[in-house]
Structure 1
Amino acid sequence: MTVLKGFKDFILRGNVIELAVAVVIGASFTAIVNGFVTGIINPVLALLFDTGDLAAATVPLGMGRNAPELGYGIVISAIIQFIMVAAVVYFALIVPMNYLKKVQFRKKAEEPAVVEPAPPTDTELLVEIRDLLQSAHNDRKKSESA
């Protein structure tokens, strides 16, 4: 039963939920960026490389009809998609988070620091104990003489 309780605590912890949300949002961003690159960037680059489809852009590695071809177009497309996803993540997530952290840090720096009184020294404590013992002793003497 403790294993199931531990698992439940793990799942209900905020970090796991936030991570799941981040994965879903990341997948959505990736789909949007891939659509943008496939639909807009790749056709423009295909014009530059004089090919109908950028992924089909190749260079023959040898002479003849059966010579293998180096498919550089698909690599260029993948690099562009990676750069676009990285840019979206950076500008949509990292920059705003860094700004919020900076604002939070400034607010903490502007707040006056709460100065707690220093704890009493050993000598001060001993003097206080001595005074308490002396007053207790004096009270006992008064009650015995009365």
Structure 2
Amino acid sequence: MLKGFKNFVMRGDIVTVAVGLIIALALSTLIKAFTDSVINPIIASLQGGRSMGLGWQLGRAGNQATYLDLGAFLSAVIYFLIFMAVVYFCIVVPYKHVQARRGVVVFEEPGPLKTCPACLSEDLPVRAGRCRHCGADQLP
């Protein structure tokens, strides 16, 4: 029973989806901070008020709604970078090591690419015999 659960959890697509979800959640925090701290004050600058901190007052002095709060946004950027480093070093690196011991390659670097002479797409593998975009035959 535990062996089946271990095999389910160690499948490459499960961990890939989990890492993608973690990145999406961290990115949503960054986007929320950007909208709350940068976009919302620009929109609210028509109302006026007073506020203080790291940033610029766009409306009347002291109005928190019209304050471009760069400190909160920089804090979210730092949080995002630290969070991604933790995800990489605590999840991705050990997972790659465990999978390599099992003989499975995960998160590998993409191979060399070439450009299709017909449609000029630049994302074809060097060994491709036909372009995936236009269907043109590729020279070896």
The TM-score with structure 1 as length reference comes to 0.35
Higher strand proportion, which one?
2
Answer with 1 or 2: which has the greater Rg.
1
Normalising by structure 2, we get a TM-score of 0.36
Which protein is richer in helix relative to its size? Answer: 1
